[in-house]
Chain A
Amino acid sequence: MAREPEIVTRYREAAERGDAMAQFNLGDSYRLGYRIPRDTREAVRWLTKAANQGHREAIRRLQEMQAEGIDITPPPEEETPRRPQSLEDLLDSLAPGQGAEGDGGIGVQLPVPEPETDPLYAVEEAIDVNALRAAADAGNPAAQVVMGNALRDGLLGFDADPAEAARWYRLAAEAGDARGQYSLGVLHDRGLGVPRDEAEALRWYHKAATQGDAHSQFNLGNMIAQGRGCKADPAVAAKWFKKAADQGDGAALFALGALHESGRGVAQDDGKAAEFYRRAAELGEAEAQYNLANMLRQGRGVEPDPAEAAHLCHRAAEQGLAEAQFNWALMLSTGQGVARDKSAAALWFRRAANAGDPRAQYHLAMLMDHGDMPGNPAETARLLRAAAEAGDARAQCDLGVMHLIGDGVPFDEAEAARWFRRAAEGGNALARFNLGVMHAGGQGVAKDEVEAYCWLSLAAASPLAAIAQPAGRAVAALAARLGADGLKQAAERAARLAGAAP
């Protein structure tokens, strides 16, 4: 083997002592094959050592090598000479290996995927803003609509300016462009950049719809179904929905499904409803997925299939539909159509609650209250209040109870009575009983035995024996004190309250 040139040997000795310049020179010699055989691996090793000491030239050299596609990962250092095995080494060698077994796969790394060196970028249209503006100025309606879209939503570097958007849309609309007419209709419908005007919205939707624009056909159908800007007529609405649906508009397919399910404007037909829902669901319409899931669960219009119901409900839930998130959580917690998974259920109850579903908020509060989920009384009360304010009678009643005992909320009898009243008016039997008792005793409210009699008699009609029986006993006791006039007055008031209840 040929002897190493002296200059290289000197570099090496100094480099091994830690001299950054020598490390750089040695690395560069290996890189260039200068006086020693070229060896990229060694070059990377020594250049990295120099770079680690802040040698700028070495850093630059490594960057250049990387740009050329050379792997600049430094090679592992050579093993140090073996030393006799110590007791610690022996114990280490006896320790179980790291790996997947028994750890639920948590420790398994997903290997870094092979990157695509030439990715698909332009599958979603890229827009040249200058060319767009020039085309719009030249009177191209399609470009005017795109300008309008950009200004409406503040895209392509424009600040949002709905009035300017309306100007562009109007130019396109008046030139007969269906998308321009549709977009102008939307602005009038929502009162964005132009005065809100349903008749004007209807007019532009109609112009675009007759040109075959599916979105306009759907929006027109929607306005007609809801009686906005014209007289409500579900049958006519269904015709426009049908036209949009024929073009594959998912929202229109869903709307047709809903009409068939309710029998508004078309013959009630669960089978057809399910069919339309399925087509819309396949296009990703979350509401359609949710409704179809309910039909599959209940076996309405389709053969019951809990597994498919669960799958569809999951898809709708993943899209953020709060009702679907709640149902999916219930399915997970009861194992309906899917393997039971309490922890996943809790996660979905929380997501539904955060999305504002009052049933989920109540359910989550109950799970916390029963200790099935970590939480505290204040958190429970917060969830109950959110559900109560959204009109959930059970939550209103439970919140009243919390105020009555001062658990998680300040002790406040008047506040308790207020929530009991809202729940009682919503038909909650326990709230009716509690409110009756509070009126009888003048607790948090003015003492009023006629009012107490009313609520207690309504509670006594509850099918729940645990409420009906004590309520019945209280009613009997009050009846003895009220006399005929009082009873007559109470009966009239109770009838009114019962009639007002949902």
Chain B
Amino acid sequence: MSRNVSFEVQVLTDKNWVIAETAKDENQAKAFADNLLQTGNHAAVRVVRDWTRPDGLHAETVVLEKQSTEKKGTDLSLAPITEAPPCRELADFYGSAARLTLGRLCRKYFDEMGVTPTEMLHSHAELKRFGDKDRLLFSAIDRVATLQAAAMGEEPKARRDFLGKCWDDLCIRARQVSDGKKLAPPKALADILKAKPGDDGDVGYMRQTLMSARLLEVRNLPGKLDILLKWAAEPGGTEILPLIDGFTADVVLSAQVIQDLLGFQPNLAHALCSLCDLAEGVAQPAKFAPDSFGQLNALFADGSLPQAREVLLGRVARELGGANPLSRNEPKLEYEMFSKVAHRLVCHEKVLGGGAQAEALLHRSARVHNTGSNAVKQALDFLLSALADTVHRVQLLVALAGTEVGRGLGDQLVKELKARVLGSDHIDLWVPVRHPPRDRMAALAAVARTLAASESLDAEIKAELATHVDEMLAKYLVDEGVIEKIDKQDDPLALRAIRLVKFCGSGVLIDGKSMALARAAVVEHLRQPQFEEKFLASVGDPAKAEKSLREFHKLLLDSGFR
């Protein structure tokens, strides 16, 4: 080969040919060009033969030009997110909030590549591929920096520089783990469990890297989910459940995965209720639901997937707050479907998903009643009137108190809450009459606990409202003779005493007047002369008497009697 000849490998970038490499050998240059094309990051490549003529001028000849066979016009644009959680150190980038934001921002890219954010963050090859994808990385950093800077009160440029530096560190860390080579995927779960900590002593990162390597072998989300569920079902899976949760959270972020899991749903309202059921592990599979549905449901039920749960509830909140109708095919049922979703989210014990969900319901209420975004109070009135009883309404108001809207309403919200609580002075005004007494008492106790636990209400107000609920419950106990019905005169003393103590520890009473009433009945029994003798005598089988008394003492302690 003449030393006056060289070959330039050029790639097409933004309508311009840019030199990517030079080679002395034509075949080597062509092979390099082919490799570049296969990475999928360039629309076209070409090899140009450069001959330096004896007179010093250059003659160029294109010896190869290839267009990418990649789908034309694939839209990888960023999604319009409006919030980005702050990142202050490298570890924050691996956190749930950052990964999910990345997943939502670059959804089209991840869908196209069949990758999840966690996998990308733990694979040097995937990080590089993302970085090489036109201006995607640059735009993503820019977008996140803008949002973070606004939220953190920093200069966008400083944020951008910080994020750029972090990106480099992420790449360095991933490269160090794989030592610059392609990491061999683990053959079995045991290989993941055997992973040794890296230089930084972080075994979790190593395990995630290995898990990512295995998951990257499968370029579709349902397939990844199957692998994750298989790991979770294996005996050693428990050890890495939090890691499985993180990967699962990435997977269930996708609408397509959710639709596949849920199967056919009559409308959006049913889909959202099913999502809530799944998040709580109480979902029933729809017709033709995949096998993974049952396994996933079981993991949600035992609380193994807190991150994935947050993802599902986050979707419920965003879909609910959005513009898609809850009953597209039957618009007449829009209110009924709104009521259905509202009662799935707001229950006697809590608002599922907390303040975010309460705010989303408020948005939907405004949409259903067409009140416009200015009339928050009107939308709130509509929402409250749609709820079945006062317990629901108070739960909603307390949840709302901790939100931006709640803070905006300020005194108005507190006034509303006080009116609802203090204006309802009989249990019938709180819980429908048809519910069993136990459920009615439990609902009141739950609302008192919610009030007491609220971090958004003043201590004085909380105490006033919780006391009112307690007094109402105490009044109910007295009016309905609840304690007398439990403590039946004709029953043996042992049975009466055990029943009463269990009642005190059942969670249906409020620490205050109502609890004091029940405890007083227990104390009255305990203080009677020769209580223990009478207790033992009242147990029919003398052989079991001592055991019953021991269990009774344990029960006393468990129920808070000292």
Contact = CB atoms under 8 A, between A and B. Distances in A.
A105 B264 CA distance: 40
Interface string B352-396: 000000011011001000000111111110000110110000000
A69 B315 contact: no
B410 A318 contact: no
A315 B139 contact: no
Contacts of A39: 157
Given A118-B79, A320-B332, A113 B434 contact: no
A113 B429 CA distance: 33
Contact of B83 (A114, A284, A302): A114
A69 B259 contact: no
Contact of B433 (A100, A113, A303, A339): A303
B258 A120 contact: yes
B336 A284 contact: yes
A116 interface: yes
Interface stretch (A180-188, A305-313, A365-373, A381-389): A305-313
A109 B408 contact: yes
Nearest to B325: A124
A230 interface: no
A100 B265 contact: no
Interface in A102-125: 104-125
A248 interface: no
A104 B142 CA distance: 40
Given A118-B79, A305-B432, A311-B389, A110 B362 contact: yes
B363 A110 contact: yes
Given A109-B376, A112-B82, A308-B434, A123 B262 contact: yes
Contact of B322 (A108, A119, A125, A320): A119
Instruction: Label chain B's interface by main secondary structure.
Output: helix
Contact of A100 (B140, B375, B408): B408
B211 to A, nearest CB: 23
B434 A69 contact: no
Interface in A211-247: none
Given A39-B157, A114-B82, A124 B142 contact: no
B513 interface: no
A286 to B, nearest CB: 8
Interface string B76-96: 011111110000000000000
B495 interface: no
A308 B258 contact: no
Contacts of B255: 118-121
Contacts of B329: 124
B79 A110 contact: no
Interface in A134-177: none
Interface in A56-72: 67-71
Contacts of B107: 117-118
Contacts of B433: 303-305, 308
Given A69-B143, A111-B405, A123 B259 contact: yes
A89 interface: no
Contacts of B378: 106
B343 to A, nearest CB: 10
A71 B81 CA distance: 10
A339 B420 CA distance: 10
Given A71-B143, A108-B377, A118-B104, A101 B411 contact: yes
Nearest to B419: A339
B162 interface: no
B4 interface: no
A67 B139 CA distance: 9
A70 B78 CA distance: 9
Instruction: Label chain A's interface by main secondary structure.
Output: loop
A339 B381 CA distance: 12
Nearest to A339: B423
A119 B324 contact: yes
Contacts of A40: 142, 146, 156, 160
A125 B374 CA distance: 35
Contacts of A108: 374, 376-377, 405, 408-409, 412
Contacts of A120: 255, 258-259, 268, 271, 315, 319, 324
**From A105, A284, A308, A319, residue with most partner B Cβ within 10 Å:** A105
A29 B72 CA distance: 30
Interface string A311-354: 10011001110000000000000000011000000000000000
A113 B322 contact: yes
B373 A109 contact: yes
B254 interface: yes
Given A69-B105, A110-B362, A303 B322 contact: no
Contact of A305 (B79, B80, B385, B434): B434
Contacts of B81: 114-115, 117
Contacts of B405: 108, 110-111
B380 A114 contact: no
A41 interface: yes
A304 B432 CA distance: 10
**From A101, A110, A318, residue with most partner B Cβ within 10 Å:** A110
Interface string A27-42: 0000000000101110
Contacts of A109: 373-374, 376, 408
A121 B413 CA distance: 35
B328 A68 contact: no
Q: Which 9 A-B pairs have the closest CB atoms?
A: A69-B78, A105-B377, A113-B321, A117-B79, A116-B318, A68-B139, A318-B335, A69-B143, A305-B433
Interface of B: 77-83, 104-105, 107, 135, 139-140, 142-143, 146-147, 156-157, 160, 253-255, 258-259, 262, 264-268, 270-271, 315, 317-319, 321-322, 324, 328-329, 332-333, 335-337, 339-340, 359-360, 362-363, 366, 373-380, 385-386, 388-389, 404-405, 408-413, 423, 428-429, 432-434
Given A114-B317, A116-B318, 10 more contacts: A40-B156, A106-B377, A113-B321, A113-B359, A113-B363, A115-B318, A119-B319, A284-B333, A315-B335, A318-B335
Interface of A: 37, 39-41, 67-71, 99-101, 104-125, 284, 302-305, 307-308, 311, 314-315, 318-320, 338-339
15 contacts: A69-B140, A70-B142, A101-B412, A105-B409, A106-B376, A111-B359, A111-B405, A114-B82, A116-B322, A120-B255, A120-B258, A305-B433, A307-B428, A311-B388, A318-B336
